[in-house]
Structure 1
C-alpha cells in the first residue's frame, strides 16, 4: 500500500491531499457544532452556509502557501506554519460570516473548529511523515556533532534527511546551549566527550566550525586527538558561501588546522607593487609553488602573465586552470603559455624582450633532495646555472624586478639541492652588486603543505592503503606553511627588495614529523601499532635519513636579521661574493659539470661561502655506476665531443652501413 502511494504521480498525490484536508475541515466544523451548539437545525444551516463559502477559500490559501507542494515524507516547519496560518485565516473568515448570519455561541464554535482543524490537518501530515519515513536508523553510522551553532544545525538537518549518518548528540562550548535540545538532539559539554563516544556508540565525530580560526580549530583538535573514532569536518565558510561545496560534504580534517596558524591579511600595497598593470613572468609556472604564484598574480591585475614551463602537460594544465579563473571572476589578464628551459639563456631573453616582461618570479628548480643527490650534475645545472641564465636574460631584457624562490635547505646545507640553491642566492647577490638595471631579491621558506614531495599526501596514501607509514627518523622536524600563504608572502616580499636582499618567511613553530603522522592516524580513528600497542592498526617504520637529509632545517645563516613592513617577513644580511669571485667560481663549476666530475662539484660548493656540510658519500647514480676507470674515461671523452661532431659521426656511420 505504501509503495503504491509513493509511486503515484505528483498530481494524484495533491488531489488526495486536498481531499483529506476537505474531509478533516468538514469533520472539524461538525465536531465543533456538536460540542458547542444545542442541535438547533436553523443554526446548523447557517453554519454550513458559512462553511461552504469558507472551505474553497481555505483550500486556495493552503495552495498559495505551498502546502501541496511540500513532500509529506520531508514535511518541516514551513509546511506546519502554512497549516497554522491557513487554519487561523479560515477561522477568522468563518467568525466574520457567523457574525453576519447571527450564529449563536460563535466564539466557542470558532475556537473549537480551529483547534480541531489544526490538530487533524497538521497531525495527519506529521503522522504521514512518520509512516513514510520510519524511524529505523540502525543502518546509519551514529555521529556526534561538535558545534551546535547554525552550521551544526544545518548539518544535523541534512544528515537526518540522508541515509548515511544519524546525529545523536551535539557538543558545544557555549554553556547557554548545553542541556538543551536542538532538532530533538541533546546538547552536551565537550568535557565529557570521551564518555559520550562510549555511551552513545558514536562512530564518527563531525566538526561543524567552518568560520572558526585555525588556532581555535587546533585547540579543538588537540582535545579530540585521542578519541578512538575518525574526525571529519564540514567545508570551510568560503566553500559554502560560493556554493562549491554543500554543508553535508564531509572531508578529512585539513593539516593546516593541525598547525593552527592563522593567515595574516596581506598588505595590498606590497601585493600589487610588482604586479598591477605590469607584465609578469613565472618560471616553473606548472609546479606546486609556481602554479599558486600564478593564481595569486592574476588576481593582482597584471596586464599579461607569461607562463614559462618545461613540462608540456604542466603548462597545459595551469594555462587551462587560469583561463577558467579569469572567465569566472571577470578578470582582464592575457595569459601567454611558453615552453622552454631555464638552461637556455637565448630563449629566456627572447621571451622577456618580446613580451616586455617587467617582473620575474623564478620558481623553476629541482627541489627533491634524494633525486638531486642521485643527479648531481643536472641538479647543479638547473638550479645554479638556470638561475644565472634567467637572471642574465632579465638584465639584458630590462626586467625591473627578479624574485628567486629559495628554500630553508639553503641554510648550512647538507645536500646538493640545498647547496645549489644557496649558490643560486650567491649568484643573484653578486649580480645585484655588479649592475643596477634589475632589482634582485630572494625569498627563503620551508616546506609547503600539498606540494610535490610533501609528506602529508604521502602519509594519507599510506594510511588509506593500510600502512606502514614510512618516516626517515623519529626525531626529524620540519617547518610547514600552506602554498597560498607562501605564494602571497613571496609576492609581498619581492616588493620590498632593494637589491640583493634575502627575505625569510616566518614559518611558525617546527613540527615533529612523527607527531604529525600519529595525529593524522588518530584523527582517522586509527591507532599506531608498536610494542606498547601490538593490536594497533598501522605501523610506523623508520627507514633512516636519506642521502643529504638532516634532522632539522634552519632559515637563517647568521643572526643578522631585521623586521620589515610585514609581520611574517624578515630580511637577513648574509655573506656574499663579489661578481668577479662569483664568475670565477661559476667558470670552474661549469668545467666540473661538463666533465661529470661530481667530487670536484662538491668541493667547489664547499669552497664557496655556503657552509656546505656534505657528510654523505657521493650518491650520483651515473658516477656510482661508473665504477671502473675505463668507463670514467669513456664518459670524459663523450663530454668533450660537441653536439655537431657527435651528430656528424652518427650520420657518417649510417651512410657507411647503407653503402
Structure 2
C-alpha cells in the first residue's frame, strides 16, 4: 500500500490542512465531551497528547496513500482509504495513551468523537473541493462546447465524469439521450436524461447543442449510420468514444473522443481469440512470414510478436517497404527477436537459403499479387507470383521441416472470374494436395477485402474526396465483404491454431456492403454533402470484376468450428497426382509468348472459372 512519495508544495499544504483538521477534531471532541467546559486536568491531557496524535494521524494518512491522490478526482476508494487511515491512527493513539498514561484522566468517549469528526473533516474537505471544481469548472482559456451524450449507461457516465473533472476537454454536457424509457428524467452527476435518441434534432435546437458524442459500446454499423444521418440533419457534429473494454484495460482513455470512422459504420464486432491455443503453436517457435511488409503480412507480424516467438523472420522483396517496417519494429519491439530478410519467393536459391538458415517452425504465406485489373493485364505475372511463388514456398517449407504452413487466400478464389482469383484458387489446391503426402500441415484461410489496405477502395475514395471528386464506383449494386486488418490477422492466427492439415478456413465477413453506401458514408464522414459538394460517378464493371463475391464454392460444404467467426469448408477429394502434373505444366509455360494458351490451361484447371485475362 505504501507508494513512492515526493513532497511537493501542494502535498505539503494538504498535510498541513490535515494536521489542522486533526487539531480541530481533537479540540471539538473534548469540547463536546465536556459540554464546552473542559476541566483543567483534561485540558493538560489535551495539550500533552496533541502533538503525538498529529504525527500519528499524518503518518497514517501518508501510509494509506492519501497524499498521492488528486482532490478533484476524489472517489469512494479515497473515502475507504480515509476510513482505514483514521481507524488505524485512532487505534495507535489509543494504545499510546493507554501505555503512557494508563488512560487515567482521559475520557474514552473522546476517541470515538474525535474519530467521527476527523472522518467528516478530512473526507468532507476532499469531496467539497471536487464538487466545487465540477460546479465551477475553469474554462481553460476557451469557450466550452455544448454537447449531448448519446447513451446513459456506463460509458456515458464515465465520459460525463471525465468532462466534469477535466474542463480542458472543452465540453459542457447539457444532457443525455437514451432509448431506455425508464431512464428519462433521471439525473447522472446532476446532468439530466432529456429523451430518446430520435429527439436529437428537437433537443439539439432547444439546447443549442454543437456536438453529440456516442457512448454506446453496443452500437452496430446500422445504428451508427442512423446516428450520423440524424446529426447531419440537425447540423450537429457526431463523434464517439473508445470501447469500454479498451478503457477498462487501460489501452485507451475515455477522453480520447474521436471522429466517426468507416469501421464504426461497418459495425465489425471485437474479435475474441483463444490466446492459449494460439500461443501453443507460436510461443517459443521460429515463425516466417512472406510478404511481411504488406497490409496483412505486416499486421500478422505485429500480432505474432505479441505471442513471444523465439524468432520472427520477415521475408519481403520490396526494399523500401522492408525498411519502413524495420524502422517501426526497431521502436515497437526493440530488443525482441526478429530478423528482416530481403528476398523474392520466385528466387528459389534465396528462399532455400533463408529456410535453411532460420529453420522456421511455422510459415505464414502472405506474399501475392492481389489487384484484379492489373493481373488481368499481366496474367503471366500472376501465374508466376501466385502459383509458382506459392509452390516455391511450399517446397522450401517441406525441405526445412516446417511444422505448419498457413496460406492467406481470398474470396476471389471462389468460382473465380479473374486471373488473380484463379491463381489463388490453385494456391489453395497446392496446399490441400501437398498436405496429403507430407508431414507439414498445410492450411488455407480465405477472406474478403480488408479496410485501408494498400490499393483498396477506401484509400482511393479518401483521395478522390480530398481532391473534390468525383467518387468513382463501378456499379450501383456492387457489394463486397469487409473486415479490419487487425481482425483478419488475428483470425488467421486463430485458424492456424485450429488447423490439423488440409483445411480451408473461411473467416466470417459479416454482411456484404454496397460500395455505393460505402462511398456515401465516406463523403458524409468528411463533412460533405452528396450532390451538392461532391458527386458519385458509375464507371461500369472492369474486366474480371464480379458484382458480388462469394466465400464458398458450390461444390464445397460449409462446416461450423469451435470459433464463431471461423467456418471450415469441406471440398471434394482431389486427384492430386494428376492435378499436380497439370499445375506444373501451367507453371512451366508461364514464360510463354502466347498468354492465351496459358490462360486456357488455367481455366481448364478450375471448374467454373470465368477468368479471361488479356495482355
Please, what TM-score do these two structures have when normalized by structure 1?
Answer: 0.70
Deviations 1:362-390 (A, max 9, x none): 11111122333343332321111111111
Query: In structure 2, what is the Cα distance between the partners aligned to 1:420 and 1:154?
Result: 51
Match of 1:587 in 2: 585
Matches within 5 A, 1:424-503: 424-432=427-435, 435-460=437-462, 462-463=464-465, 467-495=469-497, 497=499, 500-503=502-505
Match of 1:306 in 2: 313
Match of 1:396 in 2: 399
Residue 128 of structure 1, CA deviation: 8.7
Query: In structure 2, what is the Cα distance between the partners aligned to 1:12 and 1:405?
Result: 58
Q: Secondary structure at the match of 1:282?
A: strand
Residue 158 of structure 1, CA deviation: 3.2
Residue 612 of structure 1, CA deviation: 2.9
Matched, 1:406 2:409: yes
Match of 1:145 in 2: 149
Matches within 5 A, 1:241-256: 241-256=248-263
Query: In structure 1, what is the Cα distance between the partners aligned to 2:277 and 2:50?
Result: 70
Residue 196 of structure 1, CA deviation: 1.9
Match of 1:563 in 2: 559
Residue in structure 2 matching 1:543, options 524, 528, 539: 539
| Residues 205 and 455 (structure 1), Cα distance of their counterparts in 2 relative to 1, 3 Å cut | farther
| Residues 139 and 311 (structure 1), Cα distance of their counterparts in 2 relative to 1, 3 Å cut | same
Q: Secondary structure at the match of 2:591?
A: helix
Contact 2:582 2:605 in 1 (8 A): no
Deviations 1:611-654 (A, max 9, x none): 332367x3x4xxxxxxxxxxxxxxxxxxxxxxxxxxxxxxxxxx
Residue in structure 2 matching 1:294, options 297, 301, 305: 301
Contact 2:140 2:167 in 1 (8 A): no
Deviations 1:216-275 (A, max 9, x none): 444642541421333222223454345443221112334444333435633457535643
| Residues 423 and 570 (structure 1), Cα distance of their counterparts in 2 relative to 1, 3 Å cut | same
Q: Secondary structure at the match of 1:586?
A: helix
Match of 2:530 in 1: 529
Contact 1:408 1:444 in 2 (8 A): yes
Match of 1:185 in 2: 191
Deviations 1:146-178 (A, max 9, x none): 233443233224334334332211223455543
Residue 344 of structure 1, CA deviation: 1.3
Query: In structure 2, what is the Cα distance between the partners aligned to 1:58 and 1:465?
Result: 73
| Residues 576 and 324 (structure 1), Cα distance of their counterparts in 2 relative to 1, 3 Å cut | farther
Matched, 1:608 2:605: yes
| Residues 583 and 137 (structure 1), Cα distance of their counterparts in 2 relative to 1, 3 Å cut | same
Query: In structure 1, what is the Cα distance between the partners aligned to 2:14 and 2:285?
Result: 68
Matched, 1:198 2:180: no
Matched, 1:342 2:366: no
Contact 1:304 1:335 in 2 (8 A): yes
Query: In structure 1, what is the Cα distance between the partners aligned to 2:405 and 2:589?
Result: 27
Query: In structure 2, what is the Cα distance between the partners aligned to 1:387 and 1:368?
Result: 17
Matches within 5 A, 1:261-280: 261-263=268-270, 265-267=272-274, 271-272=278-279, 274-280=281-287
Residue 509 of structure 1, CA deviation: 1.7
Query: In structure 2, what is the Cα distance between the partners aligned to 1:308 and 1:227?
Result: 48
Matches within 5 A, 1:11-410: 139-160=143-164, 161-163=166-168, 164-175=170-181, 177-194=183-200, 195-209=202-216, 212-213=217-218, 216-218=219-221, 220-228=223-231, 229-263=236-270, 265-267=272-274, 271-272=278-279, 274-319=281-326, 321=328, 334-410=337-413
Match of 2:4 in 1: none
For structure 2, the 5+ residue unaligned runs are: 1-7, 84-104, 107-113
Q: Secondary structure at the match of 1:529?
A: coil
Contact 2:214 2:238 in 1 (8 A): yes
Residue 558 of structure 1, CA deviation: 1.7
Contact 2:365 2:407 in 1 (8 A): yes
Between 1:313-322 and 1:485-494, the stretch displaced more is 313-322
Query: In structure 2, what is the Cα distance between the partners aligned to 1:139 and 1:205?
Result: 17
Q: Secondary structure at the match of 2:147?
A: strand
Contact 1:593 1:601 in 2 (8 A): no
| Residues 412 and 192 (structure 1), Cα distance of their counterparts in 2 relative to 1, 3 Å cut | closer
Q: Secondary structure at the match of 1:451?
A: coil
Residue 457 of structure 1, CA deviation: 4.1
Q: Secondary structure at the match of 1:226?
A: helix
Query: In structure 2, what is the Cα distance between the partners aligned to 1:497 and 1:412?
Result: 24
Contact 1:271 1:488 in 2 (8 A): no
Match of 1:3 in 2: none
Query: In structure 2, what is the Cα distance between the partners aligned to 1:298 and 1:77?
Result: 38
Deviations 1:106-143 (A, max 9, x none): xxxx9xx99xx99x999997999699856799833221
Contact 1:346 1:393 in 2 (8 A): no
Contact 1:422 1:610 in 2 (8 A): no
Contact 1:503 1:572 in 2 (8 A): no
Between 1:279-288 and 1:307-316, the stretch displaced more is 307-316
| Residues 541 and 404 (structure 1), Cα distance of their counterparts in 2 relative to 1, 3 Å cut | same
